[in-house]
Chain A
Amino acid sequence: MVLLFLPPALFLFTLFVALPMGEAAWYSFYSWNGYGAPTDFVGWRNFELLFANRAFRIALTNNFLIIVVSLAIQLPLALGMAILLADRVRGTATFRLIFFLPYILAEVAAGLIWRFVYDGEYGLLAKLWELFGATPPHVLAEPDIAIYAIMVVVVWKYFGFHMMLYIAGLQQIDRSLYEAAHIDGATGWQIFRRITVPLLGSTIRLSVFFAILGSIQLFDLIMPLTKGGPSDSTQTMVTYLYSYGVTRMRIGFGSAVGVVLFLICVVFAFGYKRVLMRHD
């Protein structure tokens, strides 16, 4: 009788998660606009079109760049703030909350706020430019720099989350190690390099995992900022899926994008856990 507890979860999961995923693999071999049944079998053509497509290549590059920025700028910033806030000195609780605040905001709201910041006429950035007597740029309308403007927002939005992870990790480190290191005359850099980073290893690996997986899936934040434009310069895989699959109702082609995204996520997640997190 108690096994009746299971069917609601199984049913919903199968219907709305497992089946659609399987169907994505199936549809990706068809050219289909969603009406009637998929009959126009095209083999691998959707995938060939996809990898030959300029906008999709830009999207892949952008996803890669966002990962690089997350790892090279966001995580060090988060770690630095965590180290400054690991000890209960005056004001740490407030600073932690402030830094975590952007993380709880909806991506759409955060994106719109930064669209205002970057606005060439009314925005904060434009005002700063004017102070130096320069003509303010329309940052988000410049194909060459829009993606970098988005990266700033990514760092702003998510570093507080990683900081909280690091703070939790730092609290596990035995404090007498630091004292001992100081007595032995270690420099600040040596302490960071030889104690903090190694003992934070599993936390760092986890945080890198989230940063990469989150970067691969970036979508909500980009829609209010640029919608992937100008001229596809800020597409990511998911905005590409939305612009070229969903809005044009190209079910087969869009499903192919979904399958590629799925494979990247799964291969990354399994590979990463196997290789780097097997001891955690």
Chain B
Amino acid sequence: MTSTVARYDTPVTIAPVLRYAILFIVAGGVLIPLIATALGGFKSLGELRVNPFGLPSQWEWINYWEILSSSRYWQLMGNSLIIAVLTVILTVTAAAMAAFVFVHVRFFGATFLLNYLLLGLMFPAATAILPLFIKIRDLGLLDTYWGVVLPQVAFGLAMSILLFRNYFRQIPKDLFEAAVIDGCGYFRFFWYVILPLSRPILATVAVIVFVHSWNNYLLPLVVLNRDTLYPWPLGIMVYQGEYSTDWNLILAFITLTILPAIIMFFAAQKHIVAGLMAGSVKG
């Protein structure tokens, strides 16, 4: 027996050595591809071939520096950022307003309309991608940011409305009655009372929508043809195609493109984990 008191109120009683051995093996499996990717970007192609795992014998900062000093990288990041920010603003606005109506206004057909919007939870964007392409083309939105943003907003609405609605319902209705007695209308009540009280859910929805937009691949692939408009998931595929076997450059490029997401993740891990889990579980 070890000197520590054994705990029995746990789902598993396991020797610490064994617990950590398992955890370290799995963590290795998760991390090794990622670390090898980041390190690979610092190697020369010749070294990558003989030593893909270890530290580089000579750190080739030039691989990273050339990408960082190219306009290509910043353009991809910029495009992704513009598309994601526009998508977040529009989704949050449209969804919060709609959810507010469903919670605070009784009107004929409310249940029907809510169920109609929540149909969007049922199927992936891929199912209607061809008619969506035709629609975007006919609206003249091919090769524009809006051609990606507006459908992304439309597909994000169902889950966002559901999250907002669940949250708004927990805000006491008395607040609304008090506000009405004080002569406060719906608009001011929404703006000055509901929104300030809803910061956590606003953050949650914003995180989910931002991440989905940032990582989205299929829709921009279908809508955008001009590579000056490409968000990074498209751009990185083009880069990989161009440099097909210069893996050291590709690895540096991958590292730099996923870096913002990883930094964001570690900086705001609690919000991001909670947000993504809430989005999928309630959505």
- Chain A residues within 8 Å of B, Cβ to Cβ: 1-3, 5-6, 8-10, 12-13, 15-21, 23-24, 27, 34, 77, 80-81, 83-87, 89, 91, 95, 97-109, 112-117, 119, 121-124, 126-127, 156, 160-161, 164-165, 168, 170, 173, 175-176, 178-179, 182-183, 188, 191-192, 195-196, 206, 210, 217, 219-220, 223-224, 238, 241-242, 245-246, 251, 254-255, 258-259, 261-262, 265-266, 269
Contacts and interface: CB of A to CB of B under 8 A. Distances in A.
Contacts of A261: 123-124, 126-127
Given A20-B135, A206-B281, A124 B52 contact: yes
Contact of B217 (A113, A192, A220): A220
Contacts, number: 282
Contacts of A265: 122-124, 127
Contacts of B127: 21, 24, 258-259, 261-262, 265
B128 A21 contact: yes
Interface secondary structure of B, over-half rule: helix
A266 B10 contact: no
A106 to B, nearest CB: 4
Classify chain B's interface size.
Answer: 35 or more
Contacts of A251: 130-131, 134
A113 B33 contact: yes
B105 A2 contact: yes
Q: Which of B45, B218, B266 has the most CB of A within 10 A?
A: B218
B154 A13 contact: yes
A183 B9 CA distance: 10
A144 B36 CA distance: 27
Given A86-B11, A109-B258, A269-B122, A241 B129 contact: yes
Contacts of B100: 2, 5
A185 to B, nearest CB: 11
A222 to B, nearest CB: 11
B123 A9 contact: no
Contacts of B261: 104-106
Interface in B266-283: 266, 269, 272-273, 276-277, 280-281
Contacts of B53: 124, 127
B151 interface: yes
B204 interface: no
Contacts of B119: 17-18
A97 B127 CA distance: 33
A5 to B, nearest CB: 4
A165 B281 contact: yes
B211 interface: yes
Contact of A101 (B101, B131, B187, B265): B265
Contacts of A19: 131, 135
Given A108-B233, A192-B11, A245 B130 contact: yes
B86 interface: no
Given A106-B214, A251-B130, 17 more contacts: A3-B101, A5-B98, A6-B113, A9-B117, A16-B153, A34-B137, A95-B27, A98-B27, A98-B30, A99-B30, A101-B262, A107-B217, A108-B215, A113-B37, A116-B36, A126-B52, A246-B222
